[in-house]
Structure 1
Amino acid sequence: MERIDGATVAFLLTDGFEDSELTSPWETVEQQGGTPTLVSPKEGSVEGKKGHTQAVDLGVASASADDFDALVLPGGVVNADHLRMDTDAVAFVGAFFDQHKPVAVICHGAWILADADALRGRRLTSYPSLRTDLVNAGAEWVDEEVVVDQGLVSSRTPDDLPAFNAKMVEEIAEGRHAGQSR
């Protein structure tokens, strides 16, 4: 796996996230030399659906994509549903696409991409129940372990984390992608 020394990676989430979809990519970013930052609309700490708690580093209302090299969006139904209704979170996600920076999304985390209008003409995967929503937002949805499309990395479930983590690091190491836009 490549090194991403010095890369700053935002993890956007709130309560109800899928625990391993935060902890596994977070550890991978650290192991490969990057610096992860937990960004959330919630203050204090967040709690996953299986009980993992983690301190919030930065409120999404004051966060700027300018300060990060990449974004990771863990899944979890409750997490994803709450984030897509938060205007600051949607704007934060959209800014990564506007700046052509890598975005890695797993499971239900892809929901917010529809609200950020970042799916037209993009190829990705997700938890199968999101298929119709993502297709209706303009995406080509496929059922594959991991999909990479111009800096957008997507996977379906925690079972896909090894492949997801490897491609996430690869795309972060490559940096900006001209095709990563909305």
Structure 2
Amino acid sequence: MEQVELTEPWEAVEEAGGLPGLISTQSGRVQAYDHLDKGDSFTADSTVNVASPSDFDALVLPGGVANPDYLRTQPEAVAFVRAFFDTGKPVAAICHAPWVLIEAGVVSGRTLTSWPSLRTDLANAGATWTDIEVQVCDAGPNRLITSRKPDDLKAFCQALLSGLPRR
């Protein structure tokens, strides 16, 4: 995943008093990247076949190209994402992460933004694509927050936090 798309939302949730968790397809360490260069690695707290959306208030899907491209080929990861929509919990996705949302079948009739190269993929899946810093879509059973790139993280994090329950 793109490291900053993991760490900035993580820090924003912590600063707001929340307790973020890192869920992966496998236990152990997860490699982050700064564009094409290796970044830090992070320890997964749980896996998609063990964790449950009931354990969380929301789901954040960081981007980068490789992470969502891999996740959309993993049935357990796609089912985990779909379960957040089925339970009506907020989902936030940045950069290339909407590829996973397309695979989960949850974008039709919704308005999203993303990295520009996903525009046609989203349109073909029935979504309306827009080129703005952050798009909040309440058209479905849950709030969907999307942003285009790391430069949009401030607005992305603000929109994420505005949709979370206060503790």
Bin of the TM-score, shorter chain as denominator length: over 0.9
Root-mean-square deviation over aligned CA pairs:
1.0
Q: Distance in 1 between the 2:62 and 2:84 partners? A: 16
Residue 40 of structure 1 is matched in structure 2 by 24
Question: What residue is the counterpart of 2:76 in the other structure?
Answer: 88
Once the two structures are TM-superposed, the CA of residue 31 in structure 1 deviates from its matched residue by 0.3
Quote how far apart the aligned CAs of 1:42 are: 2.3
Unmatched 5+ residue regions in structure 1?
1-16, 175-182
Q: Which residue of 1 aligns with 2:157?
A: 165
User: Alignment partner of 1:35: what SS?
Assistant: coil
User: Could you tell me the TM-score, scaled by structure 1's length?
Assistant: 0.85
**Aligned pair 1:66/2:45, yes or no?**
no
Deviation at 1:173, TM superposition (A): 3.1
Stretches of 4+ aligned residues off by more than 4 angstroms: none
Q: Establish whether residue 28 from structure 1 lines up as the match of residue 3 from structure 2.
A: no
TM-score (norm 2): 0.92
Instruction: Report the Cα offset of residue 99 of structure 1.
Output: 0.7
Aligned residues of 2:57 and 2:165 also touching (Cα < 8 A): no
Aligned-residue offset at 1:161 = 0.3
Give the residue type in structure 2 aligned to 1:101: K
Q: Which residue in 2 is equivalent to 1:106?
A: 94
Q: Please list every run of 5 or more consecutive structure 2 residues that lacks an aligned counterpart in the other structure.
A: none
The residue type equivalent to 1:138 in the other structure is: G
CA deviations over 1:120-171 (Å, ceiling 9, x no partner)? 1000100000111111111000000000011100000000000000000001
Give the equivalent residue in structure 2 for 1:179.
none
CA distance in 1 between counterparts of 2:20 and 2:26 reads: 17
Structure 2 residue aligned with 1:57: 45
The answer to whether the 8 Å contact 2:93/2:146 transfers is yes
Counting aligned pairs with the same residue, the percent is 54
